[in-house]
């Protein structure tokens, strides 16, 4: 094998899911014995066979990515339970293996994947999907870029044809359930348990947590970063829709119209609402000038 073929062969072997005993499977995805696959590019030593040497990498890869996913989605894990979460993780990572130099991006497809596989999360599927969306928004908000915001005095000079942009770290999420407080509490519990125990208790199976009864209620949420901390802020429907429209590059007047389309807020109160929202957005640093490239495309 040349170097590229060798790299691909080893990557496929290392990224192949483990068997039921957390060991390397006996056969590859194409049916070849893994002993033969390992021997084709790994030499045995005095203590380990080629299979056993390759198995070390196979196991460590999966332990690492499963652990990273559990860290980013600890609330989802608590909602569905450890066994189901592990099954979700293996199935998801089989469909979406790590493609980045950083584990930060590992869960980027998980909310969409979960939406396409409702059977994986069991009876709490709808709740779990909302929790996953909030948790991924946290990851995005925590380390996405930050640009210089516009001040309220700068915003006041704009007209209806002006185009604006949103901070890259601002994440807007439309939810079916108001799960933001639940996610925050579950994250606090996880942090507290880790701090008290030092390490997680190995071998102990965590059952799904007991939850208060959740009724569907449309909730609009913003996840944003202030210095090095992420915060959630609930939004009014019109406020959410206006922010989404601004982020899509709509002219300001069109974004306002989109926000209030079908709204129950009386027309005479809408101007005051817009002023209040922009004042809050400016204070939080959410509004930016659009990048030059986007203006040229528009």
Measured CA to CA in angstroms, residue 236 lies from 9, 33, 100, 257, 271 at distances of 52, 58, 36, 15, 15
What lies within 8 Å, CB to CB, of 28 at 6+ separation is: 12, 13, 16, 34, 37
The counts of H helices and E strands in the chain are 13, 5
Residue of 62, 53, 67, 50 whose CA lies nearest to 19: 62
Q: Kindly list the domain boundaries of the chain, sorted by start residue.
A: 1-67, 73-143+180-213, 147-178+217-298
pTM of the model: 0.88
Pick the CATH number of 147-178+217-298 from 3.40.50, 3.90.930, 1.10.530, 3.20.20: 3.90.930
Residue length of the chain: 298
Confirm if 95 and 108 have CB atoms less than 8 A apart: no
pLDDT tens digits in sequence order for the chain, 298 residues long = 799 999 999 999 999 999 999 999 999 989 999 999 999 999 999 999 999 999 999 999 999 999 999 999 999 999 999 999 999 999 999 999 999 999 999 999 999 999 999 999 999 999 999 999 999 999 999 999 999 999 999 999 999 999 999 999 999 999 999 999 999 999 998 888 776 655 554 555 577 888 888 899 999 999 999 998 999 999 999 999 999 999 999 999 999 999 999 999 999 999 999 999 999 999 999 999 998 555 545 5
How many other CB atoms are there within 10 angstroms of residue 140's CB atom? Answer: 18
Question: Can you read off the two tokens belonging to residue 21?
Answer: 């005993």
Q: 255 is written with which tokens?
A: 């974004």
- What are the start-end ranges of the E strands in the chain? 165-166, 171-175, 219-226, 229-235, 287-288
């Amino acid at each position: 094998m040349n170097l590229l073929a060798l790299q691909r062969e080893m990557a496929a072997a290392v990224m192949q899911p483990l068997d039921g005993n957390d060991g390397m499977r006996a056969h590859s995805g194409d049916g070849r014995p893994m002993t033969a696959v390992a021997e084709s590019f790994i030499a045995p030593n005095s203590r380990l066979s080629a299979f056993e040497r390759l198995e070390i990498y196979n196991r460590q890869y999966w332990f690492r990515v499963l652990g990273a996913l559990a860290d980013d989605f600890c609330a989802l894990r608590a909602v569905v339970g450890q066994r189901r979460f592990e099954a979700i993780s293996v199935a998801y990572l089989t469909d979406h293996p790590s493609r980045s130099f950083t584990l930060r991006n590992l869960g980027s497809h998980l909310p969409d994947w979960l939406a396409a596989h409702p059977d994986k999360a069991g009876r709490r599927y709808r709740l779990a999907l909302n929790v996953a969306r909030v948790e991924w928004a946290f990851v995005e908000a925590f380390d996405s870029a930050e640009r210089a915001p516009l001040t309220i005095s700068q915003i006041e000079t704009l007209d209806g044809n002006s185009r604006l942009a949103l901070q890259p770290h601002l994440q807007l999420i439309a939810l079916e359930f108001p799960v933001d407080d639940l996610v925050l509490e579950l994250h606090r519990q996880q942090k507290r348990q880790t701090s008290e125990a030092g390490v997680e208790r190995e071998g102990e199976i965590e059952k799904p947590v007991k939850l208060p009864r959740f009724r569907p209620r449309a909730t609009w949420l913003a996840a944003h970063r202030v210095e090095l901390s992420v915060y959630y802020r609930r939004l009014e429907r019109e406020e959410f829709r206006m922010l989404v429209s601004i982020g899509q590059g709509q002219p300001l007047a069109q974004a306002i119209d989109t926000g209030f389309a079908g709204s129950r807020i009386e027309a005479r109160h809408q101007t005051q609402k817009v002023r209040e929202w922009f004042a809050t957005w400016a204070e939080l640093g959410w509004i930016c000038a659009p990048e030059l490239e986007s203006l040229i495309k528009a």
